[in-house]
Amino acid sequence: MTTAELTEPKTPKTRQSAGREIIQLPLGLLGFENVKQYVLLTNPAEEPFMWFQMMDDTRRAFLVAPPARLVPDYQPDISDDDAAFLGITDPSDAVVLNIITLRGDDRPTVNLKGPVVFNRRTRVGKQVIPNNATQYSLRHPLAAS
Amino acid sequence: MLILSRKPGESIVIDGRIVVKIVRLEGDMVKVGIEAAKEVPIHRQEVYDEIQRNNQEALTASRPPLSHFLTKATARPPSKPAPVFVAR
């Protein structure tokens, strides 16, 4: 049993339970350039997965996850221009999220070529194409077996 | 489409704020330099196209419950039980 299961019903005033954080994407996501505000919805029961939901359309969301537990050796090389755009001066400022495609009954995949990176201090983000993107798959199989 | 002839070292100005310069020719490759404000996204078209298509495919209309196969993706070593998603 996880900590969340033990504490959640007794401590309804959040923090360790579901969370929401507003992320600004001044340039939107590729193909969704006009949608600039998202809410990152977290739920301990779904960890490490989170929903990256359009602020103005609560039905529309992307499933995302930090790569650490999905693809442990993933090391996107963020360009200097992107780091400057995001105001990232130290790697610890950067939060990396990868977009997951569920594909119905097929095996889900994760996009390693175009991660969403945001600055944890300013909560401004961008979908970046890392310098080393060619070595990563756009449709990396999620379930390692 | 507007088509202009340029020599290496020559440039094109777009909208008074984007400069596209032909840097040099290398066989059948053209090296192009682009100067623009950092708010102007610049991508190789094929990369842009495939990522935006993948984004379209990944968008969900109704945050579906995360089914059990996702737990396998992050399964911890067998000594610890894998986390079980709680139904919404």
Q: Is the pLDDT of residue A4 over 90?
A: no
CB contact under 8 A, A49 and B70: yes
Q: Which of A76, A81, A89 is nearest to A116 (CA)?
A: A76
Q: Given a cut of 50, is residue A9 above it in pLDDT? A: no
A101 at B interface, C-beta within 8 A: yes
Query: Does residue A2 fall inside a structural domain?
Result: no
| Residue A99 within a domain | yes
pLDDT at residue A1 above 60? no
- Average pLDDT (A62-68) is 95
> Is a pLDDT exceeding 50 seen at residue B87?
no
**A101 and B54 in contact by Cβ < 8 A?**
yes
Q: Is residue A4 part of a domain?
A: no
- CB atoms near residue A68 (< 10 Å): 11
B1 touches chain A (CB under 8 A): no
- The pTM for the full model equals 0.80
Nearest-angstrom CA–CA distance, A39 and A51? 8
Mean pLDDT of chain B: 83
Q: What is the pLDDT of residues B36-59, one digit of tens each?
A: 998 888 999 999 999 999 999 999
Q: Using a CB–CB cutoff of 8 Å, tell me whether B54 touches chain A.
A: yes
Cβ of residue A112 closer than 8 Å to a chain B Cβ = no
B64 close contact with A: CB closer than 8 A: yes
Smallest CA–CA distance, residue A100 to chain B, in Å, is: 6
CA distance to partner chain A, nearest, from residue B26 (Å): 21
**Gap between the Cα atoms of A21 and A43, Å rounded:** 12
* CATH number assigned to the domain comprising residue A119: 2.30.290.10
Identify whether the C-beta of residue A88 lies closer than 8 Å to the C-beta of residue A96: no
In a domain, A6, yes or no: no
Is A93 inside a domain boundary?
yes
pLDDT at A69: 85
Lowest average pLDDT, out of A5-14, A34-43, A57-66, goes to A5-14
**Number of compact structural domains in chain A:** 1
Residue A142 — very low, low, confident or very high, per pLDDT cuts 50/70/90?
confident
Q: What is the DSSP string of B32-77?
A: EEEE--TTS----HHHHHHHHHHHHHH-BSS-----THHHHHTPPP
Q: Are A61 and A96 in contact (CB under 8 A)?
A: no
Please name the residue that has the structure tokens 């400057």: A84
Taking residues B3-11, report their average pLDDT.
96
Per-chain mean pLDDT for chain A = 87
Which residues touch B55 (CB under 8 Å, ≥6 apart)? A29, A30, A31, A32, A62, A99, A111, A114, A127
